[in-house]
Amino acid sequence: METVTSCKPIKVWEKDGKKVQIYEVTLSDGTKGESFGKEIPEGTAQEALDITEGQYGKKIKLKSAGGGFGGGKKPQMQPSTMCLSYAKDLVVAGKLEFKDILPAAEKFLNWVKQMEGK
């Protein structure tokens, strides 16, 4: 099983004022290619990589995690976590005292549940 043996920055590519780090990726069988903007950890198995032939050589990138969450989308935040986060934001903004964070989160959650029923 081939694995990534090195991934080192080789140049910065700039397009439309945006800079992207380009890495040279080397596999244990000597295969070399470039990764745009993503450092690939050493030891990553070749099966976890998409390797394509590009105009200027091989392009190597990590395959998307997909599968478990509907085609690679991020999992949705649970309503209770989201409500606690909103309550925390109010504390940080100085609109709510820390001691009131849980009651406020519960009010948000009750509102969300009520809106789901409509």
Does residue 46 contact residue 62 with C-beta atoms inside 8 Å? Answer: no
What pLDDT score was predicted for residue 107?
92
Percentages helix, strand, coil for the chain (3-state, rounded to 5) are 30, 35, 35
Beta bridge partners of 18: 15
Type of residue at 92 = V
Q: Give start and end residues of each alpha helix (H) in 45-117.
A: 79-92, 101-116
User: Quick check: 52 pLDDT over 80?
Assistant: yes
Residues 63-90 have pLDDT tens digits of 875 555 455 555 666 888 888 888 999 9
26 versus 70: the higher-pLDDT residue is 26
Q: What is the pLDDT of residue 64?
A: 72
Confidence of residue 25 (pLDDT cuts 50, 70, 90): very high
Reduced to 3 states (helix: H, G, I; strand: E, B; else coil), residue 88 is: helix
Q: Check pLDDT > 80 for residue 59.
A: yes
Each domain of the chain, given as residue ranges in start order, spans 4-62, 79-116
Under a CB-based contact definition with an 8 Å cutoff, are residues 56 and 11 in contact? no
Considering the entire predicted model, what is its pTM?
0.52
